[in-house]
């Protein structure tokens, strides 16, 4: 079972997982404006968020006439992504010489608001799956 809706899977296919998740973090639960020219605030905002090549790829894939696309919240995928980043940060802190308790304390401050016990559960659980099966088909 994939954690992402088909429209977000297609965005992952077009621009990559990291950039798609940046779009979800910024626009999740709302409509994202699609710039038709390289001028204007919408183009500049997308370029700043995902870079110019990815912006070009994404805008080229959207049929004319679409001024906005809905970006799903992707709560489960965002939570799994956050947990992966916490586990990686925990491992990094341990490698740098922090104790387990010290590493968890740092993570609570960096990823908050989240409680100490929840971070302990996350870093002591298996790594969430990162692979996302991208369905074939049109985005729109």
- What is the pLDDT tens value at each position of the chain, 140 positions in all? 367 888 899 999 999 988 998 999 899 999 998 888 888 888 999 999 999 999 999 998 987 667 888 999 988 888 888 898 999 999 999 999 999 999 999 999 999 899 999 999 999 987 655 544 344 343 33
pLDDT of 37 reads 84
What burial letters (b/e) apply to 105-134, b meaning 16+ CB within 10 Å? Answer: ebbbeebeeeeeeebbebbeeeebeeebeb
Residues 6+ apart with CB under 8 A from 49: 19, 22, 23, 26
Name the DSSP letter for residue 135: P
pLDDT of 3 reads 74
Claim: this prediction has a pTM higher than 0.85: no
By CB atoms closer than 10 A (0-12, 13-18, 19+), residue 27 is: buried
pLDDT of 138 reads 38
């Amino acid at each position: 079972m994939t954690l992402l809706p088909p429209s977000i899977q297609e965005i992952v296919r077009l621009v990559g997982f990291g950039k798609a998740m940046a779009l979800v973090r910024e626009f999740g639960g709302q409509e994202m404006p699609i710039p038709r020219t390289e001028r204007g605030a919408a183009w500049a905002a997308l370029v700043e968020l995902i870079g110019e090549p990815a912006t070009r790829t994404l805008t080229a894939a959207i049929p004319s006439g679409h001024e906005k696309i809905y970006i799903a919240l992707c709560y489960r995928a965002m939570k799994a992504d956050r947990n992966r980043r916490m586990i990686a940060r925990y491992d990094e802190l341990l490698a740098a010489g922090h104790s387990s308790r010290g590493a968890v304390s740092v993570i609570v401050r960096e990823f908050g608001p989240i409680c100490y016990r929840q971070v302990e559960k996350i870093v002591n659980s298996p790594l969430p799956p990162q692979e996302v099966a991208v369905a074939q088909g049109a985005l729109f």
